[in-house]
Amino acid sequence: MDNKNTNGLQKEADFQDSKIEHGVRANQERFYCDRATAEMRECQKQLVGSLKGKRVLDIGCGTGENTISALEEGAFVTAIDISPASIEYVKQCAAQKGLEKNLTAIVMDAQDMQLENGCVDVVIGGGVLHHLPRLEQALGEIARVLTPAGYAVFHEPMGINPLINLYRSATPDKRTDDETPFKTKQLELIKKIFPNTRFVFFDNATLFSKIFIALHMPGLADKLQGFLLKIDRKMLRGKSNKITFAKKMAWIVVLKMQK
């Protein structure tokens, strides 16, 4: 691995460690507690399906929400993260709930996983793939560790809408320099490696309501979302899997990736 990739991994690990140590993830959570986000998370949950008895890999486990949920369903979970602080936090959370027996939590690079071929049934993750500078290599690793009938479900930010990118430029402290929100190139790469991928997009019209969440006006944001969600459902989540201009302008894409 070259120095650039090594330095990038260390920077990412330090950034995620800091979020754990200073509770940044918890503080940011209010921005993701709206109806639009709840609908996105419910979609991701439905695409994941039942995990009882399955071997699950949680990539970029963070504070362990997905890991703990899978363990509570009766899954056997391997949780990996580049952040040592995240791994320790997840272990503590599992132990507090008496779920540590079925958990393996390891500091590991998703782009170079030290796992056997075909060792997991389902891979899950949220907002992690866009952190990986070698995305094609990471996708190849995911394909390698999955069983032939296995699948992966992620949600990731899109990076095409200029208003979203303006917000990102104005808030550099909330992310690392080398994050790459998805554009057409990344979506096409995913389809190349996982031809049977399904894309579900969220947050186009509802982006307007996020302004009021940022202004600490959740009541007004909630009222607006009741109307704006109807627009997004029609515009972004019709029967066609074609990636339209409106979908490209969305904030979030949920992916179910299958070979």
Which of 2-11, 186-195, 230-239 has the weakest average pLDDT?
Answer: 2-11
Please provide the average confidence, as pLDDT, over all residues in the chain: 89
The b-or-e profile of 54-79 (16+ CB within 10 A means b, else e) is bbbbbbbbbbbbbbbbbbeeebbbbb
Neighbours of 168 (CB within 10 A): 15
pLDDT for 53-73, tens place per residue? 999 999 999 999 999 999 999
To the nearest whole percent, how much of the chain has pLDDT over 90? 72
Q: Kindly give, in sequence order, each residue whose CB lies less than 8 Å from that of residue 132, ignoring residues fewer than 6 positions away.
A: 110, 111, 138
Q: What domains appear along the chain, each with residue ranges and CATH number? A: 3-258 (3.40.50.150)
Residue whose C-alpha is closest to residue 157's, from 105, 207, 112, 228: 207
pLDDT at 257: 98
pLDDT for 124-171, tens place per residue? 999 999 999 999 999 999 999 999 999 999 999 999 999 999 888 887
Decide if 84 contacts 107 (C-beta within 8 A): yes
Q: Kindly give, in sequence order, each residue whose CB lies less than 8 Å from that of residue 167, ignoring residues fewer than 6 positions away.
A: none
Alpha helices in the chain (DSSP H): 3-21, 24-28, 35-48, 65-73, 84-96, 135-145, 162-170, 184-193, 207-214, 218-236, 245-248
Average pLDDT over residues 181-196: 97
In the β-sheet with 55-59, what is the strand arrangement from edge to edge?
Answer: 103-107, 76-81, 55-59, 120-126, 146-157, 252-258, 198-202
pLDDT at 175: 72
- Which tokens hold the place of 25? 């993830």
pLDDT at 10: 61
pLDDT at 100: 97
pLDDT for 8-42, tens place per residue? 566 555 555 465 555 544 445 555 668 889 999 99
Q: Over 70: is that where the pLDDT of 87 sits? A: yes
**Which amino acid is it at 91?**
K
The b-or-e profile of 16-50 (16+ CB within 10 A means b, else e) is bbebbeeeebeeeeeeeebbbbebbbebbeebbee
Of residues 101 and 238, the one with the higher pLDDT is: 101
pLDDT at 27: 46
Of residues 12 and 97, the one with the higher pLDDT is: 97
Give the pTM: 0.88
Virtual torsion, Cα 23, 107, 127, 199, nearest 10 deg: -160
Confidence bin at 176 (pLDDT 50/70/90) = confident
pLDDT at 24: 47
